[in-house]
Structure 1
């Protein structure tokens, strides 16, 4: 790993080449900074230069505070990731004094009063947080095309979706603005954009990362972590934030050792069950089918025991039941906002799909909510039994490669569910059951679009996933595959 090449800029100043910055992941950058081969200030300026070069084309970053970040980068910092530039999603990871819109006009003037615990943990790890990334309104879509901030574009093809809801974070990492960025996942919102943008994205076990000060992270369906280019960055970031907060309603089994250490451990011969199903709707595209088959063959070649399986019966009922839970949380959030405003939520306050969901939520009762949770939890037990027989389950992350912008966003409220299920049929179920799941960029279409494959382990099984992911990263490396966007800051040719 080489240090940065410096070149003169203005009198008394130097800058580092962006190509050098792009070569390193977060762990690598932290090592260079710790050895004083480059300064945190220089690394931040490289990130800012990259932001200026590519963000106008992709609209991944929607807010920055460069003055504060430069002041932080100029100070001596401790922590395993000291001096590494970082971005957070404009949702849940509140930064004190920064706006926190959640992608919605309804909150566009809100300012966070304090750092969320996860942001405090990132700061203790030494990360230099300099901006926030785009997301769909309230994080409720599989594509990042909000009215408030406009669409985020996929660096691999700027006419296609970067996925959602953490699409801004994924696009920023794929385009090289940062090596890793905060993300969250309530139905696939880490894994969907990771697949769309050719990145590594792990949704942790329920309760692994606190959602404090929020109550329960959407009944435990939601999870916070990150989207990264390298496996070890994901592990290091999870190590930094996986301590529970007082009063958390869920907790994951404690880790045996730091997750970063797991990346260097042999996974052994794993029992792998694979499926080519599209769980919620339709069938997988040929590209996604091929990705699963290719990965199953790769796993067998690495010595793992691989066999085809089916998921437990009852999946459709669990997915249908989860609608009442989601509706209850949408209604609770918007009703609370109405109380703050002192008036009802108007149709013009939110996007049409959000308002339709809000109105639909009024048809559910408290009994519906509780009974639905019981159905979901029963399916979680069935999934746990499957993962007691297999170390990991392999499936496609998505139903297809990234679709053009407007395909998901343009669906009418009545047809939106069908369109989205066809695109993201395989991610939501593991939010309901709580197991850790990761999307790994192991396949590509003939025209160069990334296709992720998904691996799931038993509750608390992140260690197995990190060991396997590191093995796959070595066997079929993806870090060298980058979109052509931004060689000069312009669109891909």
Structure 2
């Protein structure tokens, strides 16, 4: 079997099938990835760290009967993986190597995945672009002058560039879905509480809006990833059942975001194409209006929770080391949040959480009348690098945070499952995702729709053409 078919043509499910059959050894998959890293990563800068020696040891010991038997992958540099650096996209954590893993990471290991490194992210995952001062700018494989978005920018760059078929990612307000939209990938966010415990504990300020999952080339890889990470209380249907049983859906479409604003013209054109495409598949299209967030209260509440999280990280470092961490090592935006967090008290945190709970309930209301919501994923296509550089004015970076998540954040606040599907490209030739949301715990319904969309308009050929273009 050719090197190209090992590291480019096959998704993770296909690679695992070869390992389980004995046709390919895990070390062969890993060696193919190593060669791909050497050729392609200099173009995209998707990797925060690599350790192929550690990965070789994993490859020898991995479960060859597992769902992802022997498949090489990356973990986002916000998650601890034993033996690998964990930098959190920050200069503050350079040199820190993780010793323990969460139940979530252990579930990935048990599935047979072989982790050879960490993907880049924005500092503490706070920004909608991946251009940290710690690791430099991650570049979009479709156009290296443009951003991948954030905070899962390294994960999407690695998958879209053909380095790995699937990569772990996380999503607070759109950090899986937004980058997937910018890079032509399938990006799914599970329902709140669907998966086993990850690094962020339930008592953390932002736990209620965070989801762990992956970015992938294929729908079946994403569905398989959810099966190996979901709790015992949840069981996603088999791929065969999901493929065969997509019902006729009542799809509510909305062009305006939660602030009442429209996306850019190119994005709206793709949104109209996606609506018409769903109608052509037999679904009923119903115009809806999303409830509007009053006076930016949600933005300030999320900023409060993010600020408390940053302040908590710094306080924990001080407790462990006995010395205050050097704030000058933080990027200006992160430093602003740390200073804001120092001023917050318990009453402020309760008020912020109450505000977000109310907005989450409001965001879910349109789903009372439809099965699924459809909108743009992000209001714009991938933007030029340095537009939101980490040393840009803080107010400009705050605007990126608010604008980039205007379509995706409501699903995070409501705990609903959501996905960005790469159905069409914009007039610029760049990928632009279509965003779908279902009621909480109706993850299976979204996967049914995703399989139908993928079959009717497959995106794998576009990605494969990109892989070959990159070398």
Q: Name the TM-score, length of structure 2 as normaliser.
A: 0.94
Which residue of the partner structure matches residue 335 of structure 2? 355
Rounded Cα–Cα distance in structure 1 between residues aligned with 2:145 and 2:260: 25
Q: What do you get for the CA RMSD once the two structures are aligned?
A: 2.0
Pair 1:84-2:65 in alignment = no
Q: Aligned to 1:364, which of 344, 355, 375?
A: 344
Which residue of the partner structure matches residue 477 of structure 1? 458
Which residue of the partner structure matches residue 249 of structure 1? none
> For residues 316-352 of structure 1, what are the alpha-carbon distances to aligned partners after superposition, in whole Å with 9 as ceiling and x for unaligned?
4333322222222222122222322323343312111
Which residue of the partner structure matches residue 200 of structure 1? 186
> For residues 138-165 of structure 1, what are the alpha-carbon distances to aligned partners after superposition, in whole Å with 9 as ceiling and x for unaligned?
1110111111111110000001001110
Rounded Cα–Cα distance in structure 1 between residues aligned with 2:93 and 2:44: 23
**Structure 1 residue 198 displacement after superposition:** 0.5
> 1 or 2, which has the higher helix percentage?
2
CA contact (8 A) 1:274 1:309 kept: yes
CA contact (8 A) 2:252 2:287 kept: yes
Which residue of the partner structure matches residue 249 of structure 2? 270
Pair 1:24-2:10 in alignment = yes
CA contact (8 A) 1:319 1:376 kept: no
Q: Aligned to 1:129, which of 93, 100, 115?
A: 115
Q: How does 1:273-288 map to 2 (within 5 A)?
A: 273-280=252-259, 282-288=261-267
Partner SS state of residue 264, structure 1: helix
- In structure 2, runs of 5+ residues without a counterpart are none
Which residue of the partner structure matches residue 225 of structure 2? 237
Rounded Cα–Cα distance in structure 1 between residues aligned with 2:431 and 2:284: 26
Change (3 A) 1:344 1:72: closer
Rounded Cα–Cα distance in structure 1 between residues aligned with 2:7 and 2:198: 33
**Structure 1 residue 119 displacement after superposition:** 1.8
Pair 1:336-2:316 in alignment = yes
Rounded Cα–Cα distance in structure 1 between residues aligned with 2:328 and 2:235: 50
**Structure 1 residue 387 displacement after superposition:** 1.7
Partner SS state of residue 364, structure 1: coil
CA contact (8 A) 1:156 1:483 kept: no
Rounded Cα–Cα distance in structure 1 between residues aligned with 2:155 and 2:241: 25
- In structure 1, runs of 5+ residues without a counterpart are 6-16, 245-253
Change (3 A) 1:485 1:293: closer
**Structure 1 residue 489 displacement after superposition:** 5.2
CA contact (8 A) 1:437 1:457 kept: yes
> For residues 120-149 of structure 1, what are the alpha-carbon distances to aligned partners after superposition, in whole Å with 9 as ceiling and x for unaligned?
111111111111110011111011111111
**Structure 1 residue 210 displacement after superposition:** 2.9
Q: Aligned to 1:421, which of 397, 402, 415?
A: 402
Change (3 A) 1:262 1:138: farther
Q: Aligned to 1:169, which of 144, 155, 158?
A: 155
- The more displaced of 441-450 and 413-422 is 413-422
Change (3 A) 1:28 1:450: same
Change (3 A) 1:286 1:483: farther
Q: Aligned to 2:130, which of 128, 144, 151?
A: 144
CA contact (8 A) 1:155 1:175 kept: yes
Rounded Cα–Cα distance in structure 2 between residues aligned with 1:112 and 1:208: 25
Rounded Cα–Cα distance in structure 1 between residues aligned with 2:121 and 2:32: 24
Pair 1:223-2:211 in alignment = yes
Rounded Cα–Cα distance in structure 2 between residues aligned with 1:464 and 1:79: 25
Change (3 A) 1:271 1:484: closer
Change (3 A) 1:256 1:18: closer
Rounded Cα–Cα distance in structure 2 between residues aligned with 1:123 and 1:256: 19
Rounded Cα–Cα distance in structure 1 between residues aligned with 2:285 and 2:249: 8
Which residue of the partner structure matches residue 434 of structure 1? 415
Partner SS state of residue 312, structure 1: coil
Rounded Cα–Cα distance in structure 2 between residues aligned with 1:280 and 1:341: 43
**Structure 1 residue 209 displacement after superposition:** 1.8
Pair 1:39-2:21 in alignment = no
**Structure 1 residue 385 displacement after superposition:** 3.3
> For residues 31-82 of structure 1, what are the alpha-carbon distances to aligned partners after superposition, in whole Å with 9 as ceiling and x for unaligned?
1222222222212211111111100111101211211222332346231111
**Structure 1 residue 292 displacement after superposition:** 1.2
